[in-house]
């Protein structure tokens, strides 16, 4: 279970594995900024004049898809703090209430929470939730229930590309 829409495809590999493969997408520029997979990490981009962005196809890290998802959450949470998106909340019942109210203020009415180990169950009451291995211990991610609002992950044979849109509005993290 993940916060991104996942699609498995037959192949993502370029014909020559030594070359980086970039895939271009047309996006709604109003859903930026976008966090996309880059050659060796993730990169923040804005849509250009033609409403296009590019994401790189790269190898799934040694930490697997769990590590990849953890990295995405960490990058977005760190950027939220630096950019003052006000999407980081205390790991309390009141913090969960505020996180959900924030999502609702952007017209995301249905929410789902993904918790790491060690989260007090009272914090998760009233929201559909799962404890997942890719969340850091003592942290919770709250996002819209429909992963199409958050972004997508395309994977094939040990390679992937990822595009996260709207993270300034669709992500709330409790720590």
| pLDDT computed for residue 76 by the predictor | 97
Residues 6+ apart with CB under 8 A from 116: 131, 132, 135, 136, 137, 138, 139, 140
Tally the domains of the chain. 1
Number of residues written out for the chain = 175
Q: Which is it for strands 151-156 and 5-8: parallel, antiparallel or unpaired?
A: parallel
For 125-135, letters b (16+ CB in 10 Å) and e give eebebebbebb
Per-residue tens of pLDDT for the chain, all 175 residues: 899 999 988 777 655 555 668 888 999 988 989 999 998 899 999 887 789 999 999 888 899 999 999 999 999 999 999 999 999 999 999 999 999 999 999 999 999 999 999 999 999 999 999 999 999 999 999 999 999 999 999 998 888 999 999 899 999 999 9
Range of the domain at 158: 5-174
CA–CA separation, 134 and 2 (whole Å) = 9
| pLDDT computed for residue 3 by the predictor | 96
| pLDDT computed for residue 141 by the predictor | 98
């Amino acid at each position: 279970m993940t916060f991104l829409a996942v699609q498995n495809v037959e192949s993502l590999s370029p014909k020559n594995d030594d070359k980086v493969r970039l895939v271009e997408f047309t996006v709604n520029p109003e859903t930026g900024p976008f966090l996309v997979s880059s050659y060796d990490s993730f990169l923040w981009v804005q849509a250009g004049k033609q409403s296009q962005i590019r994401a790189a196809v790269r190898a799934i890290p040694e930490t697997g898809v769990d590590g990849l998802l953890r990295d995405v959450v960490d990058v977005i949470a760190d950027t939220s703090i630096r950019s003052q998106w006000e999407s980081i909340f205390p790991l309390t019942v009141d913090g969960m209430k505020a996180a959900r109210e924030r999502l609702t203020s952007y017209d995301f009415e249905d929410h789902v929470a993904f918790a790491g180990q060690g989260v007090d169950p009272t914090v998760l009451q009233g929201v559909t939730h799962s404890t997942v291995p890719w969340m850091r211990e003592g942290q919770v991610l709250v996002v819209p229930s429909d992963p199409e609002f958050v972004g997508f992950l395309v994977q094939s044979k040990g390679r992937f590309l990822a595009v996260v849109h709207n993270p300034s509005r669709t992500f709330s993290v409790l720590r």
